[in-house]
Amino acid sequence: YPIEQLAVNCDFLETCYLLLNGELPNAQEKSEFDSLVMRHNMVHEQLHFFLRGFRRDAHPMAVLTGLVGALSAFYHDSTDVSNPHHRHVSAIRLIAKMPTLVAMAHKYTKGQPYMYPQNDLSYTGNFLRMMFATPCEDYKVNDVVERALDRILILHADHEQNASTSTVRLCGSSGTNPFAAIAAGVACLWGPSHGGANEAALNMLEHLQANGGVAKVGEFMEQVKDKNSSVRLMGFGHRVYKNYDPRAKLMQETTKEVLMALGLENDPLFKLAMELERIALEDQYFVDRKLYPNVDFYSGIVQRAIGIPTSLFTAIFALARTVGWIAQWNEMLSDPDYKIGRPRQLYVGSSRRDVPKMDAR
Ligand code: CMC
């Protein structure tokens, strides 16, 4: 299905169902799947104490890597990875608990109480509430924001053999605990060339805005193109998309919708991003190298407008990508020919030699 159609016609949980089952759900299947996921969204109460071991200023991805890995110490009844039912239970648990863990990491940083999930809300509405509500007053989910965040989740749900997915497959190929395999994916996603790009892109825009804004775009672009500078235009370029990242187009539209709905249509960072995109698309350096905006160029602006702190962007990506990781892990383990992964290595060092005694080295 074209991603444009999924993003417009389906919600995130339908996309999850599709990735896990290969087919979109009908109305009854959707309702059963939604309620199954929503009934697994609480985490073991002991995890609250585990979280308290972290420094409050720890990066959310460090916390999330730890929390997801720690799930393997709490759910022992579904870890036989050769059993399809156990794999299904693990998949549902992971999809259901990720929003709770990300919101807990956020609340912990802020020093606010954790909000327990509320099951009469949608998956994304519940996540927003766990993120932004406090026990002191009612919280009303904003429809436009809910839809925008849901769309961000759909756009990030899966993407063939990217670095984190390959990591999950390789890690999972040893037959390790499902939560441990997904924690490896979270760790890999953190890097700025992968999931960390949305955080890096927004930091780049904020830095540029603070240092002259649109007037300094030309100078900044010269640095980006300078081979000796190591500055990259974050949120641009993709290993696979060499024409345009279809997700970026949808993200740009979503950004406009959210900014309008929140009365932020004159957001200077959005204007700056549009200007950078305009200049880059006309610049020979970018044209020659087929560099276009990727999904992360605009997603940071939407998330910032919603009130999500920059340091949490990659954690939201991890939340969304969990279904892709787990679907690929499941596909690998259900293959009767599956074997432990072992990438080949081309050795280019010395030929065989004897170990000399210490005083002869
Ligand atoms: N800004 C400036 N120059 C760039 C950029 C960029 N963002 N991306 C690539 N180039 C240049 C690079 O210097 C090289 O030039 P030359 O041929 O003169 O040496 C050429 O384009 C090819 O680059 P590459 O690094 O070989 O391309 P790649 O396919 O290995 O890298 C990439 C893909 C996404 C890692 C890279 O484009 C990049 O670092 N982009 C910025 C980070 C980013 O936005 N990452 C998010 C990717 S989408 C979300 C996800 O899937 O995680």
**What is the tens place of the pLDDT at every residue in 89-130?**
999 999 999 999 999 999 999 999 999 999 999 999 999 999
Q: Is the pLDDT of residue 46 over 90?
A: yes
Q: Name 293's bridge partners.
A: 236
pLDDT more than 90, % of the chain: 79
Q: Are 229 and 223 in contact (CB under 8 A)?
A: yes
Q: Looking at residue 196, what is its pLDDT?
A: 85
Q: Are 68 and 179 in contact (CB under 8 A)?
A: yes
**Ligand 1 interacting residues, C-beta cut-off 6 A:** 159, 162, 193-195, 197, 224, 232-239, 289, 291, 294-296
CA distances from 101 to 63, 132, 280, 299 (A): 9, 14, 38, 21
Of 267, 271, 311, the C-alpha closest to 59 is 311
Q: Is the pLDDT of residue 197 over 90?
A: no
Q: Is the pLDDT of residue 190 over 90?
A: yes
Indicate the residue type of 38: M
Give the other-Cβ count within 10 Å of 288's Cβ.
Answer: 8
Q: Name 236's bridge partners.
A: 293
Of 144, 178, 123, the C-alpha closest to 316 is 123
**Active-site entry in 150, 156, 238, 245:** 238
Average pLDDT of the residues in 309-320: 95
Q: Please calculate the CA angle 129-47-156 and round it to the nearest 5 degrees.
A: 50
**Active-site entry in 296, 335, 337, 354:** 296
N- to C-terminal Cα separation, the chain: 62
Q: Looking at residue 195, what is its pLDDT?
A: 87
Q: How confident is the model at residue 324 (pLDDT cuts 50, 70, 90)?
A: very high
Q: How far apart are CA 50 and CA 44, in angstroms?
A: 10
> Could you confirm whether 138 is annotated as catalytic?
no
Nearest CA to ligand 1 atom 41: 234
Nearest CA to ligand 1 atom 17: 289
> Could you confirm whether 296 is annotated as catalytic?
yes
Return the best residue to mutate from 231, 239, 283, 321 for the ligand 1 pocket (most ligand atoms within 8 A of CB): 239
Q: Looking at residue 245, what is its pLDDT?
A: 86
Give the other-Cβ count within 10 Å of 341's Cβ.
Answer: 13
CA distances from 174 to 81, 189, 328 (A): 10, 20, 15
Give the other-Cβ count within 10 Å of 274's Cβ.
Answer: 16
Q: Looking at residue 127, what is its pLDDT?
A: 98
Q: Looking at residue 198, what is its pLDDT?
A: 87
Handedness of CA 6, 8, 9, 11 (dihedral sign): positive
Q: Is the pLDDT of residue 39 over 90?
A: yes
What is the three-class DSSP state of 52?
Answer: coil
Q: How many CA atoms lie within 13 A of 301 on its CB side?
A: 30
Q: How far apart are CA 125 and CA 119, in angstroms?
A: 10
Average pLDDT of the residues in 145-154: 96
Q: How far apart are CA 159 and CA 155, in angstroms?
A: 9
Q: How far apart are CA 45 and CA 107, in angstroms?
A: 15
Nearest CA to ligand 1 atom 22: 289
